[in-house]
Each structure stands twice: as C-alpha cells, then as structure tokens.
Amino acid sequence: MSKRWIGMIIILMLAGACVLSGCGATEPLPTLPTGEQIEVTQGAAVMLRGKPIFYVRSRSDTLAPSERAEIISRRLAAIANNPFRANLDVHLIETDYGTDILIDKDLILTVTDQDAAAYGIARAELAQRAAELLQQELLAAHVESGAEHQLRGWIQTFILLCVLALLLWLVNRLYHRLVRSINAEFTRRFERQGADESLRYMSQPLRLIMLLLMRVALVVVWLTLLLALLPLALSFFPATRGYYEQILELVREPLIVMWEGFAQFLPNLFFISVMAFVAWLVIRAERAFFDQIEKGAIRVRGFEAEWAALTKNLVMLLLMVLTVVIVFPYLPFADAPAFQGLSIFIGLLITLSSSSAISNMIAGVLLTYNGAFRVGDLVEIDRTLGTVVEKRLFTTSIHTFKNEQVSVPNSVVIAASIRNYSALAKDKGLILHYQVTIGYDTPWRQVHELLLKAAQATQGLLTEPPPFILQRALNDWNVTYEINAYTQEASRMPRILSELIANIQDTFNAAGVEIMSPSFYALRDGNTITIPEAQRASDYQAPWFHVGIEAPAAPIEAAPPR
C-alpha cells in the first residue's frame, strides 16, 4: 500500500475519532429538578428515547400497568419526535377522576389515587413530580432535536460508513492476497517436488478446504464489522439513541455474566491448567520413551519393539482419561443438568453399542501382545493366505497372492488357528513339501535321487540344511513319496512350489520314470508310455499285444443232428 493511502487512512480515522467522540461545543442538558426523587423499585417503565422516565405501578380501569406505560410512552414519543412543535409546557388539571398531566392540549396521563397509594405519597405531590420529570426530559429531547445535533449525527454517520467501507476494503484485499498465496504455495510445492498429475489431483481437496475456511473467515469478519459498527449509527441521533442503548444492554448483560463466571472460575482454571501441564509433560515423556524402544535404542527384557506403538497410544489414552476424571469436578458445567443428561446419554450409547465392535477392539489389543504374527509375515488365517500389511484396532488386513486386500475381524483372528510361514523362515528356514506317487516297478532309491535333483534345480531352496525324502504310504498301485526342502523366502512360497513341481516333471520324464499322480490306469502290454514324445528314447516303439492260443486237451465232439 502506498504512503498516500496510509496518510489518507490516518487522517480519516483521526477525523472520525474526533467527530464520533463529540468534539466541539455542546449545549448542556438540563439537570433534574432539586428535591427528592421518586422511588423506583417496581412497575412498568415509561420510556422516552430508549430510557425510563418513571414507572407505573397501578391499574386504571381495565388497563394493566404495562399497557398504561406503553400508551404513555407512545404519546411522549409523538411529541418529542416532532421537530416543529414549539410549545412543550407541562401543566396539571384536577378532575374528579384524578390529576391530568397535559402538554399544551395533549393528555399524557392521569395520576389517580391508586397511583399515589402505590408510591405512598399524596396524589398532588406525585403528579407534580411526574410533571417536573416530563418537563425536563422533553426540554432535553427538544435541545437534542435541533439542527446542530442532526447535522452532527449525519456527519458522524457518514464518517462511520467511510470507516466501515475502508475496513471492509482492507479485509477483502487481505483475503485475496491470502488466497493467491495459498494457490502459489501449492504450485511451488508441486513444481519443487516434481509431482505428477495424480498427486496434484489428490491434493485438490486440501487446497479447496483451505480456501473454504478462508471464505468462512471472510464472512465472519464482515458480519462482525457490520454488527459492531452499524448499530453505532443509532447513537448519533436522539430519536434512535435509546435503541442503541438497548442493543448495548443486550450485549453488556451476557458479557457481565461471562466475566463474573470467568472471575469465579479462575482458581479452578489455575488447577486445571496445572493438571493439564503435568499430564502433557508425562505424555511427552512416555511417548519419547516408547519411541526409543520402537527404534531399538532402548531394550526392555520381555517387551518386543513392535509393541511400543500400541502401548504408547494406550498409555496416552489412560493418562488423558485419568486427567479428565481428576479435573472434571472443577469444570464450570460439571453440575449442569444438561451436561449430566448428556453424560448419561453417551454412557447409554456405549452400553448399547455393538458387542462385536468391543470384542474386535479387545482382540486387536491382545493380538499385538501375543506375538502370533507381525506386519510383513506370510500367514494363513481362516483359509486366507497372504502377507499381513496392517494391524488395526478392529481388523487385520492381509494382501493375498492374487492381489486381493482382505480385512479379517480381529475377533475371528483371535479365535482361529494362525499358520505363520515367516516366523521361523529367517532363522531355521521354512520347509516346503510336495507329494508324488510312483509305481512299484521303479526302485525307491532312484525316486529319491530324482526328487533331490529336482529340489537342487529349484531357485529359492537351500542346500543347507539339505532336502530330504519321506515315503508316506504304500498304496495299492503306487508308493507316495514326499520331497521336503528348506527356504528362507516365505513370501515366494507359491512360486517356489510351482518351480519345484515343474522340475520334478522334467527330471522324471528325462529319466524315463512315469509319475502315477494321482492314479493312472492302463493295460501295460500294448500301450504307449506316458512320457512326452520329445523326451522318449530315440528307438522307442510301442509294444504289441501278445495273444497266446492253447489247444484243448480233447477234441470237441459235434452235436448229433436233430
């Protein structure tokens, strides 16, 4: 902003302060007449330009005190707001019904014996005092309604509007500058990091949220300025000054109550602040302690490093709950019936909440400390085989080999048998095994040799400890052999098993040994061998059927003709 604008703003604000504060000569308002004031403790107030003059305490015929006060206030307002009215003399007339108070020829009110009895003084004295009050207030209103006061009011209003427009303009300038800064900052950040369009698209919600908050703040500031400055214009004119004072009173009363409540709450606030500060220090200390355990800088016997994250959050939650329980009686709304009802409602919701959610949460905590598996382990839970990618408080996420994300409830996990393939793979190795059936005509030593050869040709299987063979069953037509081999790559288990099976096929076919898995039925004389043609011997020929005919022991006699 240029120096010229700054100078204009300063001059405008100084002039506004001078005029708004009422600089210049003003006529002194007439003072109250000397003498004892009318005691005001009860009744309906008679208002003139926003302030009470006196109070009506008794009825008149069918009119209640509030109705009488309203009628008198309207009559006074009509006279006081008429700038062309010159005669404002107040005089009294005695009648059979009471004492009439008139301004010129206009009846304002009638003071009755009931009014005098309500105040405990004579009727004539009460009427005289009321007339003196009316005379004083009307003269003051007439002075304020002069041309000088009206002109000053319009000048003050004009300056107020100029100041308001200037403030709104400055707020708008600041808002647009902040919006441009936010957009420029997002653009610079992406250009600096070389972000692609997908990341730029993902960041749009954050930018839009910030812009929305800025717009909400702009509207709030606008409303605050309008509500704070526009009612001030009512105080510049005598006819509307009372409304301004009423608005101030409406604002002042809650502020007074809030300040008194705050003053009474200060000792409790000090106690709550001390407790919150102590709790904050303890939470910072325990978070730093468990962070060091998670990083491995601190070792505690019997406490795993992976337990640190959950334990840190649980301890923090317990400390926060304990702090709330301690400071709750010191809160200003602790004894409020509405807050007590809200507490009962929240407790009822927790009581009636889903038991499965609670059981899943408890199971999630137990799973962290039972050590059944860790994030990154290859496990099989409830017939789901895959890698654990995340352990949440309610569910466990498993990434399967088919690129599926499976969320298993923790209550199911804690109740199911968990098969962990990664727990011992790094240290002792995971044993992968597969069974084949080979006919009895093949020597078992040859089968062992071929299976071991297939295992040695498989990538990912260890040579130490060496693979070994188990003969599992002697079936009706074949023998069941099982190859067992060690691996430390549990995450590649399906691919290693697939490669092992392929190597078994190639090794047995190359050796001319038929695999009888699961079962193979054939007439062994006169059938082509099951080995693929490319892997058969070059001189192989399918055998023929051999049929033997044996002559009978005695000739067969022909049957006699019939």
Residue 139 pLDDT: 74
> Same domain for 242 and 230?
no
Whether pLDDT at 130 is above 90: no
Total number of domains in the chain: 5
386 within domain boundaries: yes
Mean predicted confidence (pLDDT) in 297-326: 81
Lowest model confidence (mean pLDDT) among 6-15, 158-167, 293-302: 6-15
DSSP 331-397: STTTT-HHHHHHHHHHHHHHHTS-HHHHHHHHHHHHHHHH-S--TT-EEEETTEEEEEEEE-SSEEE
Mean predicted confidence (pLDDT) in 481-510: 91
**496 vs 458: CA distance, rounded Å:** 7
Mean predicted confidence (pLDDT) in 24-53: 53
Lowest model confidence (mean pLDDT) among 115-124, 407-416, 505-514: 407-416
Whether pLDDT at 502 is above 90: yes
**319 vs 279: CA distance, rounded Å:** 7
| Residue 234: partners with Cβ closer than 8 Å, 6 or more residues away | 240, 241, 243, 244, 247
Computed from CA positions of residues 420, 425, 429, 431, in that sequence, does the dihedral angle turn out positive or negative? positive
> Same domain for 217 and 242?
no
Residue 206 pLDDT: 72
Whether pLDDT at 18 is above 50: no
**99 vs 293: CA distance, rounded Å:** 94
- Which is more confidently placed, 301 or 83? 301
5 within domain boundaries: no
- For residue 60, give the nearest of 70, 52, 51, 74 by alpha carbon: 70
> Same domain for 168 and 133?
no
Mean predicted confidence (pLDDT) in 399-426: 81
365 within domain boundaries: yes
**483 vs 451: CA distance, rounded Å:** 6
Residue 233 pLDDT: 74
Number of helical (H) and strand (E) elements in the chain, helices listed first: 14, 13
> Same domain for 242 and 341?
yes
Lowest model confidence (mean pLDDT) among 4-13, 221-230, 341-350, 520-529: 4-13
Q: Which residue range forms the structural domain that includes residue 499? A: 430-528
211 within domain boundaries: yes
H or E element at residue 540: none
Whether residue 446 contacts residue 513, with contact meaning beta carbons closer than 8 Å, is answered with yes
Mean predicted confidence (pLDDT) in 440-460: 91
Residue 349 pLDDT: 64
6 within domain boundaries: no
457 within domain boundaries: yes
Q: What is the CATH classification number for the domain harbouring 385?
A: 2.30.30.60
Whether residue 293 contacts residue 306, with contact meaning beta carbons closer than 8 Å, is answered with no
Crossing angle of helices 147-193 and 204-229, in 10° steps, is 170
pLDDT in tens, 182-204: 888 777 766 655 545 444 544 56
Lowest model confidence (mean pLDDT) among 306-315, 457-466, 502-511: 306-315
> Same domain for 162 and 103?
no
